[in-house]
């Protein structure tokens, strides 16, 4: 080794060489100090004790008692008594264990086994741990002081603000202030209780991330999902991989959902099924939006509703379905917008939009509406359908009212007017009252079914009685005009009245609704199978690392 220059040699050096020499000495001194500090951090130091005993013949360890305090790096450890194994750099402590690491962690217990080389603490009995946001209670805790990670293998209870958590196994990362829970995880909040298999909980954001079958139960409903997160501070949530929410009278199923409890706004995505047992209705679609304050649910993505009525079903579909309850009156309605279609055994209909009233089963149809009731086709600018005991009762036809039925191919019975009131009995058209611009064309028939001719009548107002789908009696008011033609003498220009349209190509068929329901159910079943298969590979999300304080 080359010796350092002597003092005499130093003064003989030039100015630049002197500076270099001083820097070298400073560096060596600093390195030596740092090395000494690192050695000090590795060795457990006994700070104080009322009594210190040592008997090498009995045990190669010091027995310390009374107000004992050890120091290791940035951690202080207090206890009533301890065995201090200096050579092993280890302590075994008893009674009133208290470990604190700077301002980040406090740990208490009745027994401590601490390995200084590994910086590993094992604390037993009446264990309590606390940082800035949370407190933990368990009977056995292992703590890595270097990485600031705690682990309990046998049941733990955590308190964080209003949240209470417990699980069989748990791990706490002090740097990121994040818990990982496994097996029989329960999170209790004043507003709900969450049960899960695997859960990550961030104490700083009060957000829970869960994987595996998870149930969230409150007074309002129960939520199930296989993956998601819940921000308990801001009451925001995200549920995925097969979700359902079940209340007292309804159930919503979807692939995934997001919900803000504070604003009452929520969204549901893919394979949506909404079941309402109070109204016996089922709505399906691909996207749903919910506003709790307005009591509004909007469903799009090829939506369809099925309302069960007296062993029959009313099918309804459109581009958009909106379920809305009036917050003041409590009146609930279902709105169908654009390309609305409906089907029931005694009635089928199509229009641009319609409204179904849950209170009295009234149906209002707007923009080019048409209704088919057995052989009768009814059109107007607006149709209002009233039902009683599950059957058609009456119908208001407002503006450009028209009723037509096919007598034989190419020949039609027709009634037109400004407005109409149609009455039904046993689901069949029985009586028609025409208001304004009344006109009628119907084929007269003998009892032997032979045709005697065709009646062409115009009258401002008229009342027509129907029996077995045929005109039985007609009453005319205000300047009636009419003429009876033999069938073969009816002028071609009178065979259809003004406003005549035959729209059978628009008539909804039951098979269209059943096919859509079957396809949707098959998709939902296949999707559920995929979710169940993927449950085997569930993993927890990565923990967000925070800067140390």
Percent of the chain with pLDDT over 90: 52
Q: Are 21 and 97 contained in the same domain?
A: no
CATH of the domain at 451: 2.60.450
Among the candidates 152, 187, 202, a domain finishes at 202
User: Is it the case that residue 31 has pLDDT exceeding 70?
Assistant: no
User: Is it the case that residue 104 has pLDDT exceeding 80?
Assistant: no
* Band of residue 336 on the pLDDT scale cut at 50, 70, 90: very high
**Averaging pLDDT over each range in 220-229, 315-324, 483-492, which range is the top one?**
315-324
C-alpha to C-alpha distance for 209 and 218, rounded to whole angstroms:
18
Task: Indicate whether 23 belongs to any domain.
Answer: yes
User: Is it the case that residue 371 has pLDDT exceeding 90?
Assistant: yes
CATH of the domain at 198: 2.60.450.10
- Summarize the confidence of residues 430-441 as an average pLDDT: 93
Task: Indicate whether 537 belongs to any domain.
Answer: no
β partners of residue 269: 256, 287
Question: Looking at residue 120, what is its pLDDT?
Answer: 93
Q: Are 36 and 106 contained in the same domain?
A: no
Question: Looking at residue 13, what is its pLDDT?
Answer: 54
Q: Are 50 and 38 contained in the same domain?
A: no
Q: Are 49 and 197 contained in the same domain?
A: yes
Task: Indicate whether 389 belongs to any domain.
Answer: yes
Task: Indicate whether 350 belongs to any domain.
Answer: no
- Exposure string of 354-374, with b = 16+ CB inside 10 Å and e = fewer, is bbbebeebbbbbbeebbbbbe
Pick the more confident residue, 355 or 191: 355
Q: Give the tens place of pLDDT for each residue, 460-515.
A: 999 998 887 677 788 888 888 989 999 889 888 889 999 999 999 999 999 888 88
Measured CA angle at 336 (ends 331, 339), to 5 deg: 165
C-alpha to C-alpha distance for 530 and 137, rounded to whole angstroms:
39
Burial zone of 27 (CB within 10 Å; 0-12 exposed, 13-18 middle, 19+ buried): exposed
Question: Looking at residue 122, what is its pLDDT?
Answer: 95
Q: Are 130 and 25 contained in the same domain?
A: no
Number of domains in the chain: 3
* Band of residue 520 on the pLDDT scale cut at 50, 70, 90: low
Question: Looking at residue 80, what is its pLDDT?
Answer: 96
Q: Give the tens place of pLDDT for each residue, 415-427.
A: 999 999 999 888 7
User: Is it the case that residue 525 has pLDDT exceeding 70?
Assistant: no
User: Is it the case that residue 527 has pLDDT exceeding 60?
Assistant: no
Task: Indicate whether 331 belongs to any domain.
Answer: no
Question: Looking at residue 183, what is its pLDDT?
Answer: 84
Q: Are 130 and 145 contained in the same domain?
A: yes
Residue 520 token pair:
């949707």
Task: Indicate whether 265 belongs to any domain.
Answer: no
Question: Looking at residue 28, what is its pLDDT?
Answer: 47
User: Is it the case that residue 48 has pLDDT exceeding 80?
Assistant: yes
* Enclosing domain of residue 483: 377-497
Q: Are 454 and 493 contained in the same domain?
A: yes
User: Is it the case that residue 539 has pLDDT exceeding 90?
Assistant: no
Instruction: Of 6-10, 126-130, 232-236, 318-322, give the lowest mean pLDDT range.
Output: 6-10
For all residues of the chain together, what is the average pLDDT?
85
């Amino acid at each position: 080794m080359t010796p350092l220059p002597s003092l005499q040699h130093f003064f003989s050096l030039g100015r630049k060489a002197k500076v270099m020499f001083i820097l070298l000495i400073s560096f060596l001194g600093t390195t030596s100090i740092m090395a000494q500090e690192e050695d000090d951090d590795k060795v457990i130091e006994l700070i104080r004790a009322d009594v210190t005993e040592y008997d090498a013949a009995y045990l190669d360890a010091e027995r310390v008692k009374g107000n004992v305090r050890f120091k290791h790096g940035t951690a202080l450890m207090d206890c009533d008594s301890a065995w201090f194994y200096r050579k092993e750099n280890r302590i075994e402590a008893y009674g009133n264990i208290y470990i604190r690491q700077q301002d980040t962690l406090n740990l208490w217990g009745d027994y401590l086994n601490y390995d200084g080389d590994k910086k590993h603490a094992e604390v037993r009995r009446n264990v309590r741990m606390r940082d800035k946001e949370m407190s933990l209670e368990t009977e056995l805790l292992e703590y890595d002081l270097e990485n600031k990670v705690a682990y309990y293998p046998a049941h733990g209870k955590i308190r964080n603000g209003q949240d209470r958590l417990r699980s069989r196994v748990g791990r706490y990362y002090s740097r990121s202030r994040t818990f990982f829970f496994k097996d029989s995880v329960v999170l209790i909040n004043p507003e709900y209780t969450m049960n899960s298999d695997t859960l990550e909980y961030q104490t700083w954001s009060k957000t829970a991330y869960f994987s595996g079958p998870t149930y969230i139960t409150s007074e309002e409903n129960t939520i199930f999902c296989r993956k998601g997160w819940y921000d308990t501070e801001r009451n925001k949530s995200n549920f995925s991989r097969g979700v359902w929410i079940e209340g007292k009278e309804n159930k919503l199923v979807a692939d995934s959902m997001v919900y803000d409890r504070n604003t009452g706004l929520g969204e549901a995505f893919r394979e949506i099924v909404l079941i309402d047992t109070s109204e016996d209705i089922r709505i399906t679609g691909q996207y749903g939006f919910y506003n709790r304050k307005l009591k509004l649910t909007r469903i799009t993505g090829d939506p369809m509703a099925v309302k069960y009525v007296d062993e029959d079903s009313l099918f309804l579909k459109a581009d958009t379905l909106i379920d809305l309850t009036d917050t003041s009156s409590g009146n609930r309605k279902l709105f169908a917008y654009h390309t609305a279609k409906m089907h029931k055994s005694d009635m089928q209909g199509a229009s641009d939009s319609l409204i179904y009233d849950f209170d009295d089963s009234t149906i209002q149809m707007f923009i080019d509406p048409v209704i088919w009731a057995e052989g009768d086709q009814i059109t107007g600018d607006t149709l209002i359908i009233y039902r009683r005991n599950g059957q058609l009762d009456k119908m208001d036809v407002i503006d450009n009212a028209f009723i037509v039925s096919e007598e034989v191919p190419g020949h039609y019975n027709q009634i037109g007017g400004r407005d109409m009131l149609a009455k039904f009995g046993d689901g069949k058209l029985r009586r028609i009252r025409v208001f304004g611009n009344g006109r009628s064309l119907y084929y007269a028939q003998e009892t032997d079914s032979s045709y005697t001719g065709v009646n062409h009548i115009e009258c401002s107002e008229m009342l027509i009685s129907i029996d077995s789908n045929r005109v039985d009696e007609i009453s005319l008011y205000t300047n009636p005009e009419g003429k009876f033609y033999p069938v073969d003498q009816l002028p071609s220009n009178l065979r259809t009245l003004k406003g005549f349209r035959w729209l059978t190509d628009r008539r909804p068929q039951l098979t269209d609704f059943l096919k859509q329901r079957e396809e949707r159910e098959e998709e939902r079943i296949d999707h559920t199978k995929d979710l169940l298969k993927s449950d085997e590979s569930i993993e927890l999300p990565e923990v967000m690392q925070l800067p140390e304080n």
